[in-house]
């Protein structure tokens, strides 16, 4: 009996030590949260992680690089022209580009990909809303006709959803661009486990809540990447991710818990990289009369905007890892002017309240969901705002609901006072001004914003093709937002990355976060 | 016997219907619009996308029709599609269940192999120092929260000592074995990948200690209490009187009678391990049923919650049935009619 046990133990130990030997040693391993992934099909995916994966496995016609967010750089398209009326874009494709499959890139692939995106009627289809038709003029010429002038179109083209698929390979696996693609396209499963792109990496698998694996595309048209493979591993717990990184079992820890930043900076083997996101966490204060609150007086909303302790939120609740954006245009986007925002001034706020006839303050609810939009748990941020507003005599009661319930009520225009976070899908200022301006769309509709000044400025800016004039209009746009004080930006969170010292070439991108092609490991 | 099993299985059908009806009523009482979750906040502004989603998910049908469709589909083994993952719930369960089963089996094996002998020894040496030691350790096991012990174990054995692997089912640098059963131990062996098999076993150790620890405490206490009771019975005195060795008295006589309560406990414990490993799965990044259902609950993913709940109900029914059948095998006095 004892001998059997000893043999068993020996076999176990032998097996376990074999388990220590490793396969792919050069692969870059990243710990992150993969629970948002639903599909990796660029025509269907509209979450967060898919942006990184789609960018690594596909190319777009034009791109915006992390080092200069205001400049469009040619990618699959070598050059392009825009007709005088702003309606027709003609792209000339780079010649000699092949997909990872070996198939050559042609104008037909672009036509197929964009038409399919539109006809899938999926969550990201709105990227192609403005596209009326796409034609393949010849092998390397694509002509796109828009339904209305859209100066932001080239920026929209840089979005991962506008990626170019290898139409031959995609069709062989069930993809179609037919008008009824939303019911007849069957490529979702295949495109979630494989990729059909020309990008520097090829998708080799996805296990939900497990991992996503990529291997290098050796025939990449810009030259093969330095990394042979990339693995993204799901991990929920911040402490565990840091332990994995410190022990060297992973190379990158994405979206570091801000409480752990100091610990990473204190470790000589690790580097902390700070990414400037273009997200805005904002306060929404409805001025609509239906709520029967003093908030319908602009002076009361302005008083609230001046009562918030912005620096206290950033330093106390985000360990300083956030910026203060302008009124509804984040720093880093063309036209954003950090002077166009409120500063804390309790005395001025009290004076405004008194002027509006509420010297003794009033009581109102703040509606919040669960989770931590922008990186602060909702209840913590609500409590901070409650304390700040108490200083000017406004008593805030916290009404917390399940997130889906909260969102449903926000959409149904039932909430008068709340905070939320806006994340961009592409980098044009219209990504904000289209949604925070008009009484019939986006958060502006939900909070019942009705300001002619804001709507006019947003419409003018969206139609203006001259960049200098556009900047001018956006200045007026931000002034109008400050005066209205319906949307009050609280902070623009930063995203932290912890990397082992032997990882080079990381530069944060606000849309797709990581560019594995630029990274290497020594 | 077969008739008994068949009757028990048929009786589960009204029970499952009842559960699904209760879940359906709760869902319709809460008044949450699943559309926001399906199409995402931003796409809600696009009427074409919204209309396509409403049609695809049958949200334009009257409530009773939605329920009837659901029941009919359920009878065909189709639990509908998850709002969150957009995949059939059945596929999701098939995907996430094996990881949980693997951990549950390993924990049950650990608790049984170690728990029964410890329980017997503690029971035989009732009130000795050994008994008190076992009692204290099992009390500790039963009362420490697994997310806490899990993190502590990882910190000590993985982070500081480096003798155990980090979280996950497999070394991050290895690729997953080709999926056959979804049990990594089996799949890696089928693929002939000894390295992956070793790594899988190694990765099972810490979560098994944590998850199995609770069951271990239960097994020890039940065995101990039953042994103490049995050892006072007349037949034990008779056996001793016949001159049997103490070892024979315990193994041949007392243990047989201890098996009855043990089988009950082990059955329930196994069902519990399958449905209640959420904390352990989260700490160890274990892609199992617990994590899947928690995410479904947080996001109000109704088809997934319903599918998961029904699956767990079925597991309980089956386990109870197995336990009842085992009674008959263990004790000839039990009759099924």
Which range marks the domain in which residue B114 is found?
A: 89-336
The 8-class DSSP code of residue A48 comes to S
- In this structure, the number of other CB atoms found within 10 A of the CB of residue B169 comes to 25
Which residue among B34, B48, B167 sits closest to A121, beta carbon to beta carbon? B48
The answer to whether position B174 is within a domain reads: yes
B36, closest residue in chain A (CA to CA):
A408
User: What distance in Å separates the CA atoms of residue A91 and residue A140, rounded to the nearest whole number?
Assistant: 8
Q: pLDDT category, B55, cuts 50, 70, 90?
A: confident
Distance from CA of B169 to the nearest CA of A (A): 9
- The answer to whether residues A281 and A494 touch, using CB atoms and an 8 Å cutoff, is no
Residue B32 pLDDT level (bands cut at 50, 70, 90): low
Task: Determine contact: B143 vs chain A, CB below 8 A.
Answer: no
Q: pLDDT by residue (tens digit) across B114-134?
A: 999 999 999 888 888 888 988
> Do residues A307 and A389 make contact, with C-beta atoms less than 8 angstroms apart?
yes
* CA separation for the pair A493, A70 (Å, rounded): 20
Contact A243 B155 (CB under 8 A): yes
Could you give the 3-state DSSP secondary structure of residue A30? strand
- CB proximity B40 to A under 8 Å: yes
Between chain A and chain B, how many beta carbons pairs sit less than 8 Å apart? 160
**pLDDT score for A41:** 97
**Which of these, A71, A515, A511, A33, lies nearest to A278 by C-alpha position?**
A511
Q: What is the DSSP letter of A283?
A: E
Inside any domain, residue B62: no
**Once rounded to an integer, what is the mean pLDDT over residues B164-173?**
89
Nearest to B285 among A39, A234, A247 (CB): A234
Q: What does the block give as tokens for A247?
A: 């022990």
Residue B14 lies in a domain: no
Residues A363/A397, Cβ–Cβ less than 8 Å: yes
- Answer whether residue B31 shows pLDDT above 70: no
A443/A451 Cα distance (integer angstroms): 14
Alpha helix (H) residue ranges in A308-402: 310-312, 346-355, 378-390
Split at pLDDT 50, 70, 90, the class of B96 is: very high
Q: Best mutation site among A19, A205, A445 for testing chain B: the one with the most B CBs within 10 Å?
A: A19
Interface test with A, best of B41, B106, B298 (most A CBs within 10 A): B41
CB < 8 Å to B292, chain A:
209
CB contact under 8 A, B285 and A211: no
Q: What ipTM does this complex have?
A: 0.80
| Cβ–Cβ < 8 Å for B57, B84 | no
Count other C-beta atoms under 10 Å from residue B74's C-beta: 18
Å from A22 to nearest chain B CA?
Answer: 6
Q: Is residue B8 part of a domain?
A: no
Say what the pLDDT of residue A6 is: 60
> Which chain A residues have a beta carbon less than 8 Å from that of B88?
none
β A62-63/A73-74 pair status: antiparallel
**Cβ separation B292–A35 shorter than 8 A:** no
> Quick one: tokens of A283?
């306060």
Residue-range domains of chain A with CATH: 2-232+502-521 (3.40.190.10), 280-495 (3.10.105.10)
pLDDT of residue A19: 42
Q: Which residue has the higher pLDDT, A380 or B295?
A: A380
Chain centre distance of CA A117: 19
CATH number at residue B209: 1.10.3720.10
* A205 interface with B at CB cutoff 8 Å: yes
- Which residues 6+ apart lie within 8 Å of B132 measured at CB? none
Q: What is the pLDDT of residue B337?
A: 59
Residue B123 counted as domain residue: yes
Asked if residues A488 and A302 have their Cβ atoms less than 8 Å apart, the reply is: no
**Phi (first) and psi of residue B83, to 5 degrees:** -65, -35
CB contact under 8 A, A19 and B298: no
Tokens of B186: 């089996």
pLDDT at A4: 63
Sequence-distant (≥ 6) Cβ neighbours of residue B337 within 8 angstroms? B4
| Positions of chain A with pLDDT under 50 | 1, 17-23
Residue in A closest to B188 by C-alpha: A19
Residue B22 lies in a domain: no
Give B167's contacts in chain A (Cβ within 8 Å): 235, 237, 240, 244
* pTM for the structure as a whole: 0.85
Which chain A positions have a beta carbon within 8 Å of B30's beta carbon?
405
Scored b (16 or more CB within 10 A) or e, B1-20 reads eeeeeeebeeebeeebeebb
Tell me whether A315 touches chain B (CB under 8 Å).
Answer: no
Instruction: Evaluate if residue B334 carries a pLDDT over 80.
Output: no
Which pLDDT belongs to residue A22?
45
Residue A498: strand, helix, or coil: strand
Within 8 A of B33 by CB-CB distance, chain A residues are: 404, 408, 411
Distance from CA of B3 to the nearest CA of A (A): 41
CA pair distance A473, A155, nearest whole angstrom: 19
Q: Is the dihedral of CA B146, B150, B152, B157 positive or negative?
A: positive
Taking only the tens place, the pLDDT of each residue in B252-271 is 888 888 888 888 889 888 88
pLDDT the model gives residue A122: 86
- Which among B41, B44, B282 is the nearest to A236, CB-wise? B282
Contact check, Cβ <8 Å, A247/B84? no
Select the residue of B33, B49, B195 nearest A121 (Cβ to Cβ). B49
Q: Is residue B97 part of a domain?
A: yes
Number of domains within chain B = 1
- Return residues 416-445 of A near B (CB < 8 Å): 425, 441-442, 445
Residues of B in contact with A35 (CB under 8 A): 295
Query: CB-CB: which of A12, A208, A240 is closest to B287?
Result: A208
3-state SS record for A108-163: HHHHHHHHHHHHCCCHHHHHHCCEEEEEEEECCEEEEEECCCCCCHHHHHCCHHHC
| Nearest neighbour of B198 by CB, restricted to A15, A402, A408 | A15
**Residues B68, B71, B73, CA angle at the centre, nearest 5°?**
105
What does the pLDDT read at residue A10?
A: 58
Q: What is the pLDDT of residues A51-67, one digit of tens each?
A: 999 999 999 999 999 98
Taken in order A365, A368, A374, A377, the sign of the CA dihedral is: positive
Tell if the CB–CB gap between A408 and B36 is shorter than 8 Å: yes
């Amino acid at each position: 009996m004892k001998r059997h046990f000893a043999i068993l133990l020996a076999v176990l130990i032998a097996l376990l030590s074999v388990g220590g030997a490793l396969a792919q040693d050069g692969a870059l391993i990243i710990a992150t949260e993969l629970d948002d992934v639903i599909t990796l099909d660029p025509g269907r995916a509209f979450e967060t992680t898919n942006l990184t994966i789609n960018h690594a496995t596909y190319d777009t016609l034009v791109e915006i690089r992390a080092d200069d967010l205001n400049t469009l750089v040619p990618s699959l398209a070598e050059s392009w022209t825009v007709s005088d009326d702003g309606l027709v874009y003609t792209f000339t494709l780079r010649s000699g580009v092949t997909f990872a499959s070996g198939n050559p890139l042609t104008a037909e692939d672009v036509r197929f990909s964009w038409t399919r995106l539109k006809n899938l009627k999926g969550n990201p289809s709105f990227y192609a809303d403005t596209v009326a038709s796409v034609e393949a003029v010849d092998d390397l010429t694509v002509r796109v006709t828009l339904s209305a002038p859209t100066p932001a179109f080239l920026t929209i083209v840089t979005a991962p959803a506008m990626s170019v698929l290898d139409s031959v390979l995609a069709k062989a696996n069930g993809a179609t661009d037919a008008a009824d693609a939303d019911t007849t396209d069957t490529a979702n499963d295949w495109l979630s486990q494989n990729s059909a792109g020309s990008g520097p990496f090829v998708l080799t698998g996805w296990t939900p809540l497990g991992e996503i694996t990529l291997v290098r595309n050796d025939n990449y048209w810009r030259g093969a990447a330095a990394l042979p493979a990339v693995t993204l591993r799901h991990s929920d717990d911040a402490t565990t991710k840091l332990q994995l990184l410190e022990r060297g079992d992973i190379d990158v820890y994405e979206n570091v818990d801000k409480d752990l930043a100091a610990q990473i900076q204190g470790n000589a083997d690790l580097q902390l990289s700070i990414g400037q996101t273009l997200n805005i966490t904002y306060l929404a204060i409805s001025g609509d009369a239906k709520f029967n609150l003093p908030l319908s007086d602009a002076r009361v909303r302005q008083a609230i905007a001046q009562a918030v302790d912005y620096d206290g939120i950033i330093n106390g609740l985000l360990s300083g890892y956030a910026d203060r954006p302008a009124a509804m245009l984040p720093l880093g986007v063309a036209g954003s002017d950090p002077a166009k925002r409120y500063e804390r001034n309790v005395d001025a706020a009290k004076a405004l309240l008194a002027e509006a006839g509420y010297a003794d303050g009033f009581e109102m609810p703040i509606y919040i969901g669960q989770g931590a939009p922008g990186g602060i748990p909702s209840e913590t941020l609500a409590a901070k705002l409650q304390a700040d507003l108490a200083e000017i005599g406004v008593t805030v009661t916290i009404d917390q609901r399940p997130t889906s319930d909260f969102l449903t009520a926000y959409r149904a225009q039932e909430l008068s006072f709340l905070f939320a976070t806006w994340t961009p899908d592409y980098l044009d200022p219209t990504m904000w001004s289209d949604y925070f301006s008009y009484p019939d769309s986006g958060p502006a509709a939900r909070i019942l914003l009705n300001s002619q000044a804001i709507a006019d400025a947003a419409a003018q800016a969206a139609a203006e093709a001259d960049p200098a004039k556009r900047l001018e209009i956006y200045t007026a746009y931000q002034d109008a937002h400050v005066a209205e004080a319906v949307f009050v930006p609280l902070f623009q969170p930063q995203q932290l990355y912890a990397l082992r010292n032997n990882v080079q070439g990381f530069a944060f991108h606000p849309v797709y976060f990581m560019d594995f092609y630029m990274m290497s490991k020594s | 016997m077969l008739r008994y099993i068949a009757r028990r299985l048929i009786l589960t059908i009204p029970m499952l219907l009842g559960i699904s009806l209760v879940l359906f009523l709760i869902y319709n009482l809460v008044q949450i619009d699943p559309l926001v979750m399906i199409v995402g906040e931003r796409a809600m502004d696009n009427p074409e996308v919204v209309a396509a989603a409403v049609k695809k998910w049958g949200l334009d049908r009257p409530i009773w029709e939605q329920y009837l469709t659901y029941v009919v589909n359920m009878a065909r083994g189709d639990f509908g599609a998850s709002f969150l993952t957009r995949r059939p719930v059945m596929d999701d369960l098939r995907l996430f269940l094996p990881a949980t089963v693997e951990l549950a089996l390993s924990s049950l094996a650990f608790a049984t192999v170690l728990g029964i002998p410890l329980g017997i020894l503690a029971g035989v040496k009732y009130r000795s120092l050994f008994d008190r030691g076992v009692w204290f350790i099992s009390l500790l096991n039963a009362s420490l929260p697994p997310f806490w012990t899990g993190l502590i174990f990882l910190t000590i054995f993985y982070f500081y000592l480096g003798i155990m692997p980090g979280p996950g089912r497999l070394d991050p640098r290895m690729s997953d074995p080709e999926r056959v059963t979804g049990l990594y131990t089996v799949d890696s062996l089928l693929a002939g990948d000894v390295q992956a098999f070793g790594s899988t076993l190694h990765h099972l150790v810490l979560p098994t200690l944590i998850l199995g620890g609770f069951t271990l405490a239960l097994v020890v206490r039940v065995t101990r209490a039953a042994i103490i009771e049995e050892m006072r019975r007349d037949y034990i005195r008779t056996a001793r009187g016949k001159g049997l060795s103490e070892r024979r008295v315990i193994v041949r006589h007392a243990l047989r009678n201890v098996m009855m309560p043990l089988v009950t406990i082990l059955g329930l414990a196994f069902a519990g391990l399958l449905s209640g490993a959420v904390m352990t799965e989260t700490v160890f990044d274990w892609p199992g049923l617990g994590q899947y259902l928690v995410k479904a609950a947080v996001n109000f993913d109704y088809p997934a919650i319903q599918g998961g709940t029904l699956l767990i109900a079925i597991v309980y029914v089956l386990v109870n049935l197995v336990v009842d059948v085992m009674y008959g095998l263990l004790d000839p006095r039990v009759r099924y009619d």
